[in-house]
Amino acid sequence: MNTMINEGLVAEHNAKLQANLDADYAALAGVLQRRGQDIEQLTALAQTFAVAVPTWGAGTGGTRFARFPGVGEPRNIFEKLEDCAVINQLTQATPAVSPHFPWDKVSDTAALREIAQGYGLAFDAVNSNTFQDQLGQAHTYKHGSLTSQSAAVRAQAVEHNIECIELGRALGSKALTVWVGDGANFPGQHNLRGALERYLDSMRDIYGALPADWNIFIEHKLFEPAFYATTIADWGTSFACATTLGPKAKCLVDLGHHAPNTNIEMIVARLAQFGKLGGFHFNDSKYGDDDLDSGSINPFQLFLVFNELADAAEREGSTFNPAYMLDQSHNVTDPIESLMSSAVEVQRAFIQSALVDRAGLRQLQESNDVHASAQALKQAFRTDVSAILAMARLRSGAAIDPVACYRTTGYREARGVARPPKAGASSSGIV
Ligand SMILES: [Mn+2]
């Protein structure tokens, strides 16, 4: 396998930190043993965790005000794959990438797949983009795409999504994520029901082009760029559309796409209950669709989401398999550092949720012991599982401390030389 980081550097890093890790691991093993939990099982579970990295996350995102490019940013999909390979090499938690078209479109898709495989990377859900115009495009999306009043615009948007499916097939992907910014900025701008009817008509055409073993994920978003009424604004609309379209259509939950204080874990429980939870875009936020690093603002919410996922997994068994993807915008950090630490934070919530004694919690709930029920979750959330995550990485050949290791490699500085800024190159595209 091709590695972007010299394996000797990773081994050197791990050798320096291993004695401390062994001590921390032994101490945590003792704490967990007193609770009747086996640390080895948890470490093995942590080694199975995987979350996909979005190709657009490898570059600096920027805001609507400005974009401040970082040093040695990737300028195309091949360079994005190099960075994704670094992230997976040092965390062993991100074995797949989620591409976004048309940015990641290349002339030889088979060659792209081979290069990714060379790094040990697969392709997760593909993402379409009808929220901005591309050079040479026949019709503008200024007034909508899948919901446009114009049949020609809708046809163009449908055709793009079908092309994404074809590209995804060639890459080995199994799902298409559709997010549209369609909606209205003013009351009266469009007919609220008519827009959703047109959306469903367009989506039926896309759904019809799905291979038998594919899913289509509907991503909702409360607002922006439509500030008055977004066509697919909430999980209820997403659920209704997914149900109308058929069994291959499922809902995608982006953690940043809800009103402040929304109980997202309850949405997760509802979608799981009715078999419509397709996947996640993990990120964090304080106010709106901030696209901040996962777990950086509200790690308890992330834990509670995974607590519902653990409950669903226990009920549904191996058929319950939602897609996990990061979806973040990195404006003031090195995207590689943000993506590595975010993958670890999502993995942390996954392991913390595994600490919950589910049978014990059910008993507490049945006996209406409210305080003890709440404490059962808090105890799991308060447990520092860092040593489990680090041991899982060590055993999988990754770095005990991914960011610290990355900083010893000089990778970013070397990319600064190898990737001089290119006029017109864009790596953004955050949904
Ligand atoms: Mn998203």
Distances (CA, A) of 234 to 73, 187, 267, 395: 34, 18, 10, 41
Distance between Cα 396 and ligand 1 center (Å)? 29
60 alpha carbon – ligand 1 mean position (Å)? 16
Distance from Cα 375 to the centre of ligand 1, integer Å: 32
**What is the tens place of the pLDDT at every residue in 291-315?**
999 999 999 999 999 999 999 999 9
DSSP-derived secondary structure for 123-166: E--EE---SS--TT-SS--TT-STT-S-HHHHHHHHHHHHHHHH
Q: Report the separation in Å between the CA atom of 221 and the middle of ligand 1, taken as the mean of its atom positions.
A: 8
Q: How far is the CA of 280 from the centre of ligand 1 (A)?
A: 8
Total domains in the chain come to 1
Rounded (10°) CA dihedral 242, 245, 246, 248: -70
Distance 431 CA to ligand 1 centre (A): 4
Ligand 1: distance of its center to the CA of 96 in Å?
16
State in Å: Cα 318 to ligand 1 middle. 25
User: Per residue in 56-89, pLDDT tens?
Assistant: 999 998 888 899 999 999 999 999 999 999 999 9
Cα 368 to middle of ligand 1, angstroms: 38
* C-alpha 177 – ligand 1 centre gap (Å): 9
Q: Kindly give the distance from the C-alpha atom of residue 153 to the centroid of ligand 1, in angstroms, as a whole number.
A: 23
- What distance in angstroms lies between residue 430's CA and the mean position of ligand 1's atoms? 7
pLDDT per residue as tens digits for the range 90-132: 999 999 999 999 999 999 999 999 999 999 999 999 999 999 9
CA 385 – ligand 1 centroid, Å: 27
- State residue 282 phi and psi, 5-degree precision: -85, 140
Is residue 340 assigned to a domain? Answer: yes
Residue 112 lies in a domain: yes
Q: Which pLDDT value is given to residue 430?
A: 46
- CATH number of the domain bearing residue 328: 3.20.20.150
Closest to 240 (Cα-Cα) out of 209, 232, 263, 198: 232
Q: How far is the CA of 429 from the centre of ligand 1 (A)?
A: 10
pLDDT at 431 over 60: no
pLDDT digits (tens, 9 = 90+) for 312-363: 999 999 999 999 999 999 999 999 999 999 999 999 999 999 999 999 999 9
- For residue 106, being part of any structural domain is answered with yes
Q: For residue 64, what pLDDT is reported? A: 84
Query: Does 172 have pLDDT greater than 50?
Result: yes
- 107: domain range? 51-374
> Does residue 197 belong to any structural domain of this protein?
yes
Measured in angstroms, how far is the CA atom of residue 261 from the centroid of ligand 1? 18
Dihedral class, residue 197 (left if φ above 0, else alpha if ψ from -120 to 50, else beta) = alpha
In-domain check, residue 420: no
How far is ligand 1, taken at its centre, from the CA of residue 327, in Å? 5
Mean pLDDT of 245-255: 98
Q: What average pLDDT does the chain have?
A: 96
Q: Is residue 413 part of a domain?
A: no
Paired tokens of 115: 């290069």
47 CA → ligand 1 middle, Å: 25
Measured in Å, residue 89 CA sits from the centre of ligand 1 at: 24
Whole-model pTM: value is 0.97
**Predicted local confidence at residue 426, as pLDDT:** 54
- Cα-to-centroid distance, 127 and ligand 1 (Å): 10
CA of 178 to the centre of ligand 1 (A): 10
CA 6 from centre of chain: 27
Is pLDDT above 70 for 10? yes
Give the integer Cα–Cα distance in Å for 102 and 156: 13
For residue 281, how far is its CA from the centre of ligand 1 (angstroms)?
5
Q: How far is the CA of 199 from the centre of ligand 1 (A)?
A: 19
Helix-strand-coil split of the chain, %, nearest 5 = 50, 10, 40
- At 424 the pLDDT is 62
The predicted structure's pLDDT at residue 429? 47
* Structural domain contains residue 221: yes
DSSP character string of 266-307 = HHHHHHHHTT-EEEEEE-B-SSSS--BPTTSS-HHHHHHHHH
Rounded to whole angstroms, the Cα distance separating 244 from 111 reads: 37
CA–centroid distance, residue 20 to ligand 1 (Å): 38
3-state secondary structure at position 182: coil
Instruction: For residue 233, report the distance from its CA to the centre of ligand 1, in Å.
Output: 13
Residue with tokens 């106010």, as numbered in its chain: 287
Q: Could you tell me the distance, in angstroms and rounded to a whole number, from the CA of residue 2 to the centre of ligand 1?
A: 30
Assigned domain for 253 exists: yes
